[in-house]
Chain A
Amino acid sequence: MSAQQLPLRFRISLRRRAGTIGSAWQQPLAIVGMVLAGAWILVAIFVPLIAPYDPLAQSSHLLLAPSSTHLFGTDELGRDVFSRVLWGSRLSLPLAFLLVSAAVLIGGTLGGIAGYFGGLVDEVVMRATDLVFAFPTIILAMAVTAALGPSLRNAVLAVLIVFWPSYARVVRGLVQSLGQADYVSATRLLGASSARALVVDVLPNVAGPVLVLATLDLGNAVLLLASLSFLGLGSQPPTPEWGSMVNTGTQFFERWWMGTFPGFAILSVVLAFNFLGDSLRDALDPRSSWAVRERKP
């Protein structure tokens, strides 16, 4: 049902919601998302200059509450929690970006091939994605990490395995539906090879939805990695990873600062990427499928 066929009252509200890129970025959540994400990225880059202490340096000042010398207090080995939280960003953020990029690349390529060729290739890829989807995300990630041996590297691998199928599905669907679009047929009729049609006509229109998914997934990646580390399957001590810090925090529950601050770090990063992803989705949403005035039904 095209916009033109709706009674006028619905057309008017659609017009108000589907903004241009400019207006979408003016939403409060988008701004919050951008500021937060930007702040954390800056922290991750400049942490050697910002962090007051070496995150691995133990001291005799054990389990101190937050004070002016130790903003977030110290942990059970006398290490400064504030520095450890800041250094944690150096671990979580780059790994999340790496993870999602790899998932997009692997999943997207497989999905694109499946959508393009169809037939047996499509079947194989789809059954592989079905296999992954059959398990709850965290359970599968845990199983893989446990099987490979608990380490940060294996945790990353596990999350990658769990993330790629979504992209495969999305890209496959888009390639299939866009491949049917009239403008793709038109290019083929002009003599374009299907490869050229894929690259020039289909892929640019695939990039948008994939980008939205990827941005949202950045938050998920951070969360999943942290969860695995929380369970002891990811990073191992003494690495200052937020998830494992929260884990330690649960063992020292009365020393609330040990678990709360890393927890807030995870929360703020995930929220930031979620807001960013939502704004991106709104910005890229039907901005050009808006009904044009000239249309004889």
Chain B
Amino acid sequence: MKSLLSVQGLRVQLPTASGLVTVLDGVDYEVEPGQVFGIAGESGSGKTISVLALLGLLPEGAVVEGSASYAGSDLLHLGRRAMRDVRGKEIAMVFQDPLTSLHPMMTVGRQLTEHLVYHLGLKASDARDRAIELLEEVRIPDPAGALHAFPHQFSGGMRQRIAIAIALACRPRILIADEPTTALDVTVQAGILRLLDRLRQQSGLSVIMITHDLGVMSSVADWLTVMYAGRIVESGSTADVLRRPRHPYTAGLLAALPHPEAAEDAPLLSIPGSPPSPQARPAGCAFHPRCQYAVASCATDVPELIGAGDSRRLACPVDPLLVRA
């Protein structure tokens, strides 16, 4: 099956007060149709930048290398006009905080219909009907009334549902969700995760799910890519990676989670230190200063992301956690 989106060698440098800084250092991945593709990482890992690059939303002065082929064209080299047609129509995005990603001064109805009118050329009345349909799909009570309401009149969870409705208005093939549930309560989060799951099953939508929360990944993602300091360190099917993590960082992240099944008295295992900022990335493997399995070569050689059997990819030559059969 041909991939829907194929990213090769994506490298992004951003301008800062002290010159260009490499935020994303050569990243490859492929998203299949109907797949929930998870990108996990902490702050500074570059996970958000990688998708902003796809949509042409990087700040002025950003330097982008590599390619991102989607439906026969390279997203990274599209002109402004062409990019506008892709954004919202083919690839849509939902952000973390619906309070700031929805326009506070426009009614919900207007925010929904403007997309429909712009991309699909619908008449106002058709757009309105479709808007009500969309709100029903995301389970907003009283959709007709909601059209005239403003975002601040809704709770956080409802606003995120509205943001998802707006994103899906033009039936995009890919939905990018950047930490969509991080700001929400856990019961509300569960509702949004179930909504995403249902939507993608109904329509064959591909979802790129970005979050640092491995529990959320486990619930919805089919494929998991773990990023650290601008590079991919491990990728594979979610079940496989979470049950048998092979990169020390992935294992460390899992161990730091309060596991509902673990004994309560055990202290939480944390990875010593903290993720490096893009300006201060260590040489060689970026994780080596915090890694308990590091050897001498880790400080000098950047590990390649290579196949490690069973569609798993791993960027760790030491591979200390490999369980030999």
Q: Give the CA-CA distance A263 to B314 in the complex, in Å.
A: 75
Q: Give the CA-CA distance A12 to B49 in the complex, in Å.
A: 12
Closest to A12 in B: B59
A8 at the interface (CB under 8 A from B): yes
Q: Give the CA-CA distance A181 to B42 in the complex, in Å.
A: 29
Q: What string of 1s and 0s marks CB contacts (under 8 Å) between B37-66 and chain A?
A: 000000110001100100001111000000
B95 at the interface (CB under 8 A from A): yes
- B44 CB → nearest A CB, Å: 6
| CB <8 Å contact, A5 and B100 | yes
A9 at the interface (CB under 8 A from B): yes
Q: Give the CA-CA distance A8 to B179 in the complex, in Å.
A: 14
Contact among A1, A9, A294 with B59 in the assembled complex (CB-CB below 8 Å): A9
Q: Which residues of B contact A127 (CB under 8 A)?
A: none
B182 at the interface (CB under 8 A from A): yes
Closest to A13 in B: B59
- Whether A5 touches B97, Cβ cut-off 8 Å, given contacts A12-B16, A15-B16, A294-B274, is yes
| CB <8 Å contact, A295 and B43 | yes
A7 at the interface (CB under 8 A from B): yes
| CB <8 Å contact, A9 and B57 | yes
- Whether A9 touches B58, Cβ cut-off 8 Å, given contacts A293-B277, A297-B179, is yes
Q: Give the CA-CA distance A275 to B49 in the complex, in Å.
A: 38
- B184 CB → nearest A CB, Å: 11
B183 at the interface (CB under 8 A from A): yes
Q: Which residues of B contact A1 (CB under 8 A)?
A: 100
Closest to A291 in B: B43
Q: What string of 1s and 0s marks CB contacts (under 8 Å) between B9-20 and chain A?
A: 000001111000
- B167 CB → nearest A CB, Å: 15
Closest to B52 in A: A8
Q: Which residues of A contact B59 (CB under 8 A)?
A: 8-10, 12-13
For window 82-130 of chain B, which residues contact chain A by CB distance below 8 Å? 95-97, 100
Q: Give the CA-CA distance A293 to B44 in the complex, in Å.
A: 7
| CB <8 Å contact, B43 and A293 | yes
B212 at the interface (CB under 8 A from A): yes
For window 7-24 of chain A, which residues contact chain B by CB distance below 8 Å? 7-10, 12-13, 15-16
Q: Give the CA-CA distance A9 to B179 in the complex, in Å.
A: 17
- A253 CB → nearest B CB, Å: 52
Q: Give the CA-CA distance A13 to B100 in the complex, in Å.
A: 18
- A10 CB → nearest B CB, Å: 8
For window 13-38 of chain B, which residues contact chain A by CB distance below 8 Å? 14-17
Closest to A5 in B: B97
Which of A8, A10, A296 has the largest count of B CB atoms less than 10 A from its CB?
A8
Contact among B57, B96, B274, B277 with A5 in the assembled complex (CB-CB below 8 Å): B96
Q: Which residues of B contact A6 (CB under 8 A)?
A: 100
Q: What string of 1s and 0s marks CB contacts (under 8 Å) between A1-45 and chain B?
A: 100011111101101100000000000000000000000000000
- Whether A7 touches B95, Cβ cut-off 8 Å, given contacts A293-B277, A295-B43, is yes
| CB <8 Å contact, B52 and A7 | yes
Q: Which residues of B contact A13 (CB under 8 A)?
A: 59-60
Closest to A16 in B: B17
Q: Which residues of A contact B97 (CB under 8 A)?
A: 5, 297
Q: Give the CA-CA distance A294 to B274 in the complex, in Å.
A: 8
- A12 CB → nearest B CB, Å: 5
| CB <8 Å contact, A9 and B52 | yes
Q: Give the CA-CA distance A33 to B48 in the complex, in Å.
A: 43
Contact among A5, A12, A293 with B15 in the assembled complex (CB-CB below 8 Å): A12
Q: Which residues of B contact A8 (CB under 8 A)?
A: 14, 48-49, 52, 58-59
Q: What string of 1s and 0s marks CB contacts (under 8 Å) between B62-82 and chain A?
A: 000000000000000000000
Q: Which residues of B contact A7 (CB under 8 A)?
A: 52, 57, 95
- A129 CB → nearest B CB, Å: 32
Q: Which residues of A contact B16 (CB under 8 A)?
A: 12, 15-16
Which of A1, A10, A15, A293 has the largest count of B CB atoms less than 10 A from its CB?
A293
Closest to B96 in A: A297
- B176 CB → nearest A CB, Å: 13
Closest to A9 in B: B59
Q: Which residues of A contact B14 (CB under 8 A)?
A: 8, 12
Q: Give the CA-CA distance A296 to B277 in the complex, in Å.
A: 15
- B274 CB → nearest A CB, Å: 6
Q: With A6-B100, A16-B15, A297-B182 given, can you name 9 additional A-B contacts, CB distance below 8 Å?
A: A5-B96, A7-B57, A8-B14, A9-B58, A9-B59, A12-B15, A13-B59, A293-B277, A297-B179
Nearest 10 pairs of A and B residues by beta carbon: A9-B59, A12-B59, A293-B277, A5-B97, A297-B182, A293-B44, A1-B100, A293-B43, A5-B100, A294-B274
User: Using a CB–CB distance below 8 Å, which chain B residues touch chain A?
Assistant: 14-17, 43-44, 48-49, 52, 57-60, 95-97, 100, 179, 182-183, 212, 274-275, 277
7 pairs of residues in contact across A and B, judged by CB atoms under 8 Å: A8-B48, A8-B58, A9-B59, A12-B15, A13-B60, A16-B17, A297-B182
